[in-house]
Structure 1
Amino acid sequence: MFLFVLFCSIVLWLINTSRRGKDLFIRRIAGLNAIEDAIGRATEMGRKILYIPGIMSMDEVQTIASLSILGYVARYAADYDTLFEVPNKDPITFAAARETVREAFLTAGKSDKYREDMVTYITYDQFAYTASVCGKMVRERPAANFLIGSFYAESLLLAETGQLTGAIQIAGTAEVHQLPFFVCACDYTLIGEELYAASAYISKDPLMVGSIKGQDWVKAILIGVLLLGVILETAGVHWLTAFLQAK
């Protein structure tokens, strides 16, 4: 109970610190460089970017993280006048994605370039959606595919189809069982918490930045306690083990 309260206090303190305007350092995720390279390639080839924000609704934290990255990609697409499309499975995610892309084009000063058909709603059925997106990949051959969000059985179908069309692919998910498919079929994969860290780095949202930083501190403390415990137990001192032992 003591450790739980301590860890929660650390996270809340760092969130509050971030909200007060203090800059909390988060290392730039290497995948962000890959994102910029993929957008540059699509621009040079004169072909579109296809961004798939997962298949879940806005109550899924991975979808929220994906939309932060979507805004980042959309701003670059607006700056470079790159063709851009976001097919959606969930209607609520569709509405949020449309607003995200519209705001990104407005921020880039290219509101006149924004079109409603950049963000489309396909269907709520999982595999009908997958078939439609795979068909787009084969017919239109986008230069860059982004598969970032929550994915399930459709992950391998989408990633394999994109690879066969020769697109550069950037994926990201926290679904452990889908990561091997993305790692095998995509050029770069944001693995697990990298998805959330990339989203926090891009958005600079105090809640997200403070949460990520707080989790890092908690992990560092846990590792330190574990190492100290190993050293003490090896030396025959058992007080830390007794203190941490569940009653």
Structure 2
Amino acid sequence: MEYFDSSRVNALCLFAFFCIVVLWFIQRARTGGNLFIRRIAGLNAIDEAVGRATELGKKVLYVPGIMSIDENQTIASLAVLSHVANLTARYGAELDVPNKDPLTFASAREIVRESYMQAGRPDLYTESIVHYVTYDQFAYTATVSGTMMRERPAANFLIGSFYAESLLLAETGQASGAIQIAGTAEVAQLPFFVCACDYTLIGEELYAAGAYLAREPAMLGSIKGQDWTKAVVGVAILLGAIFETLHLFPAVKQWFSISD
């Protein structure tokens, strides 16, 4: 039995490179290194949205998606929620966080409580800010949509993992006149958010936003490691195309292909 497939050494090298780069960036972040992540336009609008809600005396509605805490998009959404909660605490704006998943609900409640304490306004925090609605997908959607139309929040945040309810929520929020900031990595739902929301975090921008706001070493290191790995893979693809087109370095060709 063969335990080592020499035809896949290139994949092993790429995997090792990715692990080393990610661990190096995580260590650099933990030691206080400055890891640059480009600020996304949707993040710049968060302050504007919360400020608008404060001026109008209306609430900020934050929907953290419909999936549980084991979903990466939910984790990124909770990082954004922490930032939004910190802003609402400092500005004195009302925050409303309805939840579908029980575990996400418990995590969101602790995150919001901590954000209010960090902002120095624990007196503004109440248990009703983060509340549980129902586990049924469309019953949850109907409840949140009803809140949008009855209470007319000034700002809606739809950030996390969404499915069939994305268009219903986005259209209802748009009809209510609220400024909307959305974000998801679900490709099939992105067109609805792009059309109905003012700002949209598209795909990996959601994870980058979570890392940018949370400044957690593991998240920052992962983002930077992925960026560098993508750059290396992109260069390898370009070189491979050039070598194959010009019939250069035939011995190197095997490094640009992975056998089945």
TM-score where L is the length of structure 2: 0.92
Max radius of gyration: which structure?
2
Residue 84 of structure 1 and its aligned partner are, at CA, apart by: 0.9
Matched, 1:161 2:172: yes
Q: For 1:60 and 1:30, how far apart are their aligned partners in 2?
A: 24
Matched, 1:240 2:257: no
**Among candidates 20, 32, 50, match of residue 21 of structure 1:** 32
What is the match of residue 9 of structure 2? none
Amino acid at match of 1:214: G
**Among candidates 36, 39, 46, match of residue 57 of structure 2:** 46
What is the match of residue 81 of structure 1? 92
Residue 182 of structure 1 and its aligned partner are, at CA, apart by: 0.4
Structure 1 unaligned regions, length at least 5: none
Deviation per CA, 1:48-83, whole angstroms, max 9, x where unpaired?
100000001111111111011001001110111001
Counterpart mapping for 1:1-247 below 5 A: 1-237=12-248, 238-247=250-259
Amino acid at match of 1:95: A
Q: For 1:245 and 1:164, how far apart are their aligned partners in 2?
A: 51
TM-score where L is the length of structure 1: 0.97
Q: For 1:246 and 1:222, how far apart are their aligned partners in 2?
A: 13
Q: Larger deviation: 3-12 or 166-175?
A: 3-12
Structure 2 unaligned regions, length at least 5: 1-11
Question: Aligned residues: percent identity?
Answer: 65
Q: For 1:240 and 1:182, how far apart are their aligned partners in 2?
A: 44
Aligned residue for 1:124, secondary structure, equals coil
Q: For 1:243 and 1:64, how far apart are their aligned partners in 2?
A: 36
Residue 21 of structure 1 and its aligned partner are, at CA, apart by: 2.1
Aligned residue for 1:177, secondary structure, equals helix
Amino acid at match of 1:246: I
Amino acid at match of 1:103: E
Residue 236 of structure 1 and its aligned partner are, at CA, apart by: 1.6
**8 Å contact from structure 2 (residues 237, 256) kept in 1:** no
Deviation per CA, 1:153-208, whole angstroms, max 9, x where unpaired?
11000000000111110000001111011001100000000001011011110000
Residue 7 of structure 1 and its aligned partner are, at CA, apart by: 1.8
Aligned residue for 2:96, secondary structure, equals strand
Amino acid at match of 2:159: I
How big is the alpha-carbon RMSD for the aligned residues of Structure 1 and Structure 2?
1.1
Q: For 1:50 and 1:169, how far apart are their aligned partners in 2?
A: 10
Residue 246 of structure 1 and its aligned partner are, at CA, apart by: 2.5
Deviation per CA, 1:68-105, whole angstroms, max 9, x where unpaired?
10010011101110011000001111111111111111
Aligned residue for 2:97, secondary structure, equals strand
Residue 245 of structure 1 and its aligned partner are, at CA, apart by: 2.5
Q: For 2:14 and 2:170, how far apart are their aligned partners in 1?
A: 42
Aligned residue for 2:29, secondary structure, equals helix
